[in-house]
Structure 1
Amino acid sequence: MTDPLPLSFAAHLARDRRRSVHTVRAYQATAARLIAFLQAHWGGAVDAAALGRVTPADLRAFLAKRRGEGLGNASAARELSAVRAFLAFAGGPDAAPPRIRGPRVKKGLPRPIAPAEAVALAEEVEDGAREPWIGARDWAVLLLLYGAGLRIGEALGLTGAVLPLGDTLRVTGKRAKTRIVPLLPQVRSAIEAYVAQSPYGTARNAPLFRGAKGGPLSPGVIRRSVRAARVQLGLSDRTTPHALRHSFATHLLGRGADLRALQELLGHASLSSTQVYTAVDAAHLMDVYRSAHPRA
């Protein structure tokens, strides 16, 4: 039998908090996992009153179990955020969920964002939006940076003329140079979902991505949203919109992409601009070597 508390929590998120479908699903799953863990941890049934007695030690034990199941820092931070929201919901308006420090990503040399962290970041930005269509907009913009390697200025420079979308996208980059980039189905779906919700239409000569009042969307809006999301997730302050493009390049190179092809995808004028990613990928390989090799 499905526990009613996670179901009520999901209904609250969808109805009162206007959270996205995937966030509601993820938070409901976290709530169910927490209850199952506490039932085994305490050896008894768990109801709303029992959730009010959850201690920091209980939460640390829950997170330790989840980390043992392979959760990374960003996912663990998001799990903790969902737990806090669930405990606050179960405890009512006067509830004060126990606070524990979330996982942090060590600072160091610039490095690409892991795929799971990139998705978690985009989801957190979407969830933090004050209206569903704004959340859909921000999700689409960030997926363009990570999934297509666009600069933020290139993404925000798109107009309604790119519609209807196909398998590729024509992008105007620096020095008015145009290039063709492949459009992943997930990125295309994100843009189409935003277009369907946007209250401002998609005239061919108007910006595709609009601000809250209908004007062109400012890069600063996206940067501020990313800054707030990375704090929530405990990500490094090097996690910026441009870092998503950087990650796109590094991950492609790590999977065998040719430097010349990568140069074209990124819109670099010279190959030397692209070669920086070979150093980054080598640094990542050295990190793996040092952490995994028994003689390192």
Structure 2
Amino acid sequence: MAPTRSMADIANTAQLVSLWLTTKRSKESHRAYETDIRCFVAFLLGQNPQQVRLNDIDLRTVTINDVQAFADFLETHRTKTGKPLAPASRARRIAALKSLLNYGCKIKYLSFNAADDTLLPKTKDRLAERILREVEVMTMVALTTNERDKALIQFLYYTAARVGEVAHVRWRDIRCNRNGQGQVTLFGKGEKTRTVLIPKKVYQALTKLRSPSDTLDAAVFKSRKGGEPLKERQIRDLVAAAALKAGIQGKVSPHWLRHSHASHSLDRRASVQLVQQTLGHSSLHTTSRYAHAKPSDSSGLYLPE
């Protein structure tokens, strides 16, 4: 859990950013978040992001106009290749700034969030493109011969866990229930925890990974060299390799298996409330997107041909 701090503990922007990053579970994303904030600082100073320091501005002096001007700049900005920034990239930078300023308000370092009313750029909903077919998931599992990698893919699919959650799973988080199924406690976004059931077959595959020397604090998914916990990047690479071997097109990531879990379980009549609980969504609206991503019916089918 991130430490509770107050305005008295923070003297400048760099300290605020550093503390804010501790609330982000994925350490691999810390650099991206910091880069987004650095881009904002560079914009205000009219300099190159690589030449500025976070302390070159005081966030307490940032105005609503500053944030809106930054959003306008991102809309017209061109990359080194001459292409405009993708809407998703623009949205991520604005979202990062919103999150930082909101955190600054939460700990009373800032008096208000200057980015609160700034709208995020609309992005194309590519959810349907990132949902695998059931046969594709089963092919990924079937063609993966390494026991650890096979169990990893099954775990991702059947628990719908995020990659950051999987990287932090320890043996103390997994246990067997009275029905012979497994259950895992996942530590997700916003320091929320949830318990998810694991099918018997997958639970049995997991138990085979545990060596006699593994303590309760040992990682479930470890690297072959040194026995260190698999990093998020390694998990992504393993999933991408399994998808490639299965002949699946696209840059398949662990999150695709999470999307697929939601879509497939809804297709098989699981309630949207149950899927929401399993995925750890705070909003039912978020979960409902999966029901619309692959519709089985449409009013257009009722029209004359």
TM range (shorter): 0.5 to 0.7
Match of 2:247 in 1: 234
> How far is 1:285 from its partner?
4.8
Is 1:269 matched up with 2:282? Answer: yes
Secondary structure at the residue paired with 1:273?
A: helix
The higher-RCO structure (CA 8 Å, 6+ apart) is 1
Is 1:119 matched up with 2:119? Answer: no
Secondary structure at the residue paired with 1:170?
A: strand
Is 1:250 matched up with 2:263? Answer: yes
> How far is 1:214 from its partner?
1.1
> How far is 1:262 from its partner?
1.4
> Is contact 2:162-2:255 (8 Å) kept?
yes
Cα RMSD over matched residues? 2.8
> Is contact 2:131-2:263 (8 Å) kept?
yes
Provide the rounded CA distance (Å) in 2 between the counterparts of 1:116 and 1:223: 20
Provide the rounded CA distance (Å) in 1 between the counterparts of 2:220 and 2:232: 14
> Is contact 1:112-1:244 (8 Å) kept?
yes
Secondary structure at the residue paired with 1:155?
A: helix
1:25-174 alignment, distance < 5 Å: 109-124=128-143, 126-127=144-145, 135-166=146-177, 167=181, 168-174=183-189
Amino acid at match of 1:143: Q
1:196-211 alignment, distance < 5 Å: 198=211, 201-211=213-223
> Is contact 1:110-1:238 (8 Å) kept?
no
> Is contact 1:253-1:281 (8 Å) kept?
no
Amino acid at match of 1:173: G
> How far is 1:115 from its partner?
1.9
Amino acid at match of 2:189: K
Provide the rounded CA distance (Å) in 2 between the counterparts of 1:261 and 1:279: 17
Q: Could you tell me the TM-score, scaled by structure 1's length?
A: 0.52
Unaligned runs of 5+ in 2: 1-125
> How far is 1:259 from its partner?
1.8
Amino acid at match of 2:185: R
> Is contact 2:140-2:245 (8 Å) kept?
no
> Is contact 1:113-1:239 (8 Å) kept?
no
Secondary structure at the residue paired with 2:294?
A: helix
> How far is 1:146 from its partner?
0.9
> How far is 1:163 from its partner?
4.5
Provide the rounded CA distance (Å) in 1 between the counterparts of 2:163 and 2:294: 23
> How far is 1:164 from its partner?
4.2
> How far is 1:191 from its partner?
0.5
Structure 1 or 2: more helix by fraction: 1
> How far is 1:233 from its partner?
2.6
Provide the rounded CA distance (Å) in 1 between the counterparts of 2:250 and 2:213: 35
Question: 1:155-213: per-residue Cα shift (whole Å, max 9, x none)?
Answer: 22111213543332222111121112121112111101222xx5x83211222211122
Provide the rounded CA distance (Å) in 1 between the counterparts of 2:262 and 2:215: 32
Amino acid at match of 1:118: V
Amino acid at match of 2:217: N
> How far is 1:225 from its partner?
2.3
Question: 1:98-135: per-residue Cα shift (whole Å, max 9, x none)?
Answer: xxxxxxxxx995152122211211333x33xxxxxxx2
The 1:111/1:193 distance shift into structure 2, 3 A limit, reads same
- Structure 1 stretch displaced more, 265-274 or 201-210: 201-210
Question: 1:49-102: per-residue Cα shift (whole Å, max 9, x none)?
Answer: xxxxxxxxxxxxxxxxxxxxxxxxxxxxxxxxxxxxxxxxxxxxxxxxxxxxxx
Provide the rounded CA distance (Å) in 2 between the counterparts of 1:108 and 1:157: 26
> How far is 1:253 from its partner?
1.0
Is 1:225 matched up with 2:244? Answer: no
Amino acid at match of 1:188: Y
Provide the rounded CA distance (Å) in 1 between the counterparts of 2:246 and 2:259: 19
Provide the rounded CA distance (Å) in 1 between the counterparts of 2:266 and 2:127: 21
> Is contact 2:171-2:216 (8 Å) kept?
yes
